[in-house]
Structure 1
Amino acid sequence: MIEIATSPATTTLVITGDLDLVERDQFPEIAARVVGLRRQLLVIDMCRVTFMDSTGAAFLISLADSGRKRGGATVLRGCDDRDLFVLEVCGALDLFRIDSEHHCSSATTTPPRDEFPQSS
């Protein structure tokens, strides 16, 4: 799920759950809404993201690229090291500012991700 909040200068996306191929159908509508808001700063809250693949990374990259073309900036906050790695592998980490000061509230975050899912 992706929620959009706005202030006069900022759009904030709060992403919950997986950001992957399965969720891609909602990406064009969300991207159009974000671009249409024309805020200078886009903050993407990734505290509750449980998994991101290259499709999710491409979505984030397209948002950052659109903002950059308008002279804006995109900030990632609460981003997991694995998510940063996916963006780095895509060659797009420099499109983002990383909020390393943000600390997710334990009451609102998802449990830690398993490196290797357990099979039954």
Structure 2
Amino acid sequence: MIEIATSPATTTLVIAGDLDLAERDQFPEIAARVVGLRRQLLVIDMCRVTFMDSTGAAFLISLADSGRKRGGATVLRGCDDRDLFVLEVCGALELFRVDSEHRCAPTSTRTDSSAD
């Protein structure tokens, strides 16, 4: 699942689940929407990404490249080492700013509500 949020200067993509070949059908529409918004900063929140393959990396690279051509920047936040490695192997890590200060919120809190 990919959600798009905007502010006057920023577009934020929040990605949850797998970012891979199985999800590729939605990539062109999302890319067109992001490019059409013409914001200078694209923030890609990957806190809830469970897996990314080279198809997902190519999608992120195309978004970053489109932004760079317009003079913008793309920030990855919540990206784990495995995902950064995929982008590095693709030779594209330099297209991104990596937000190493961001801390992802816990995905769920478990409580035990049973009474003994």
What TM-score comes out, normalization by structure 2 length? 0.92
Measured in 1, the distance between the counterparts of 2:5 and 2:29 equals 15
Q: Match for residue 59 of structure 2?
A: 59
- Structure 1 SS opposite 2:24: helix
Measured in 1, the distance between the counterparts of 2:49 and 2:80 equals 8
Letter paired with 1:101: E
Deviation for aligned residue 1:65? 0.0
- Structure 1 SS opposite 2:5: strand
Measured in 1, the distance between the counterparts of 2:16 and 2:78 equals 12
Measured in 1, the distance between the counterparts of 2:31 and 2:105 equals 27
Deviation for aligned residue 1:46? 0.1
Measured in 1, the distance between the counterparts of 2:107 and 2:35 equals 31
Q: Match for residue 73 of structure 1?
A: 73
Q: Match for residue 103 of structure 1?
A: 103
- Give 1 or 2 for the bigger CA radius of gyration: 2
Q: Match for residue 83 of structure 2?
A: 83
Measured in 2, the distance between the counterparts of 1:101 and 1:58 equals 25
Measured in 2, the distance between the counterparts of 1:55 and 1:4 equals 20
Q: Match for residue 115 of structure 1?
A: none
Q: Match for residue 33 of structure 1?
A: 33
What TM-score comes out, normalization by structure 1 length? 0.89
- Structure 2 SS opposite 1:71: coil
Deviations 1:35-91 (A, max 9, x none): 000000000000000000000000000000000000000000000100000000000
- Structure 2 SS opposite 1:23: helix
Unaligned runs of 5+ in 1: 109-120
- Structure 2 SS opposite 1:79: coil
Q: Match for residue 111 of structure 1?
A: none
Q: Match for residue 50 of structure 2?
A: 50
1:14-33 superposed matches below 5 A: 14-33=14-33
Cα RMSD after superposing both structures: 0.6
Moved over 3 A (4+): none
Aligned residues: 108
